[in-house]
Structure 1
Amino acid sequence: MENSKYEGESPWSTGFCDCCSDVSVCCMTIFCPCITFGRSAEIINKGSISCGESCLLYCLLHHIRAVLPSIFYGCIHRRRLRGQYGLKQSPCNDFLVHCFCHYCALCQEYRQLKYQGFDMKRGWKGNQNPGVTMAPVTEGGMKR
């Protein structure tokens, strides 16, 4: 786990209960929390585990075993995210945040990564190679 020397000093980009500030993320999290988690986990883990792998593991933990293991899994990733960006442990400790409002926590983490500049649909590798910017093609010199 990476730690920042500034851990705990920076506020989150959006509030914990601001789920509706990004309605598409809110809906995705309500209906398919595994996708929200998978996309976030891939970026938090810097591509060491893919979105699909994280999504599948989350699904197995959340739907087959019980909800509690997915809460622990979410808590671990929230702690990593806070360490990477020096975020405050807010509104309370990571376990309680995921325990009492797991979906709000997933939404907040997803929004934070978007705020950090990540295109969540592109994943870790897609964000590392944003593409080549080319100057527009112009016709040669001035003509009279």
Structure 2
Amino acid sequence: MTAKMVVQQPRPFVVATDSNQWSSGICDCGKELLECCFAFWCFPCFACKTAREYGECLCLPLLDSFGFIPPITLSMRVSMRQRYGIMGTIFNDCLYACFCGPCVWCQMSREMKARLQPITLVNARAK
């Protein structure tokens, strides 16, 4: 009987979620249906919860009711793009903040969850 000696161990490779794009689209509510329902039925609560998870003041999103352009939604989206290195323009951020507020907050919530996931090590078998 001959025994095979393992000369090279399979090396794990790292799957990282770092990208210069949003991990989900502005209208990808199907990925987190419960959160989207929460945002739809109680948007102020959802926005405050998301702001708190991002590290901002809990009541900060309540200031969005002043003015045509929601300043907090806009600034949070720009801040998140800068923090995670996501490509985009202030013009698009402004449009989304003005016309798609709840969708923007849902997208930001999904992005935080995607970016804060631990790195996954996957074993690759060498043949």
Q: Same-fold call, TM > 0.5?
A: yes
Does the CA-based 8 Å contact 1:36-1:110 persist in structure 2? Answer: no
Q: Which runs of 5+ in 1 are unaligned?
A: 1-8, 119-144
Q: Which runs of 5+ in 2 are unaligned?
A: 1-18, 118-127
Query: Larger C-alpha radius of gyration, 1 or 2?
Result: 2
Normalising by structure 1, report the TM-score: 0.58
Match of 1:75 in 2: 74
Alpha-carbon shift at residue 87 of structure 1 (Å): 1.0
Aligned equivalent of 1:14, options 13, 24, 29: 24
- Alignment pair present for 1:38 and 2:37: no
- Alignment pair present for 1:27 and 2:37: yes
Cα separation, partners in 2 of 1:61 and 1:104, compared to 1, 3 Å = closer
Match of 1:99 in 2: 98
Cα separation, partners in 2 of 1:72 and 1:35, compared to 1, 3 Å = same
**Could you tell me how far apart the structure 2 residues matched to 1:17 and 1:108 are?**
8
Normalising by structure 2, report the TM-score: 0.65
**Could you tell me how far apart the structure 1 residues matched to 2:44 and 2:83 are?**
22
Counterpart secondary structure, 2:88: coil
Q: Deviations over 1:7-44 (max 9, x none)?
A: xx711111111012211111111111112211222233
Match of 2:121 in 1: none
Q: Identity, % of aligned pairs?
A: 27
Alpha-carbon shift at residue 61 of structure 1 (Å): 4.2
**Could you tell me how far apart the structure 1 residues matched to 2:77 and 2:94 are?**
9
Does the CA-based 8 Å contact 1:82-1:89 persist in structure 2? Answer: yes
Does the CA-based 8 Å contact 1:40-1:113 persist in structure 2? Answer: no
**Could you tell me how far apart the structure 1 residues matched to 2:78 and 2:53 are?**
14
Alpha-carbon shift at residue 110 of structure 1 (Å): 0.8
Counterpart secondary structure, 2:116: coil
Over the aligned positions, Cα root-mean-square deviation in angstroms equals 2.4
Q: Deviations over 1:36-95 (max 9, x none)?
A: 211222233x35x2x2x23xx51x643xx57x36x22200111111111111227x6211
Show structure 1 runs of 4+ deviating over 4 A. none
Query: For this pair of structures, how many residues does the alignment match?
Result: 98
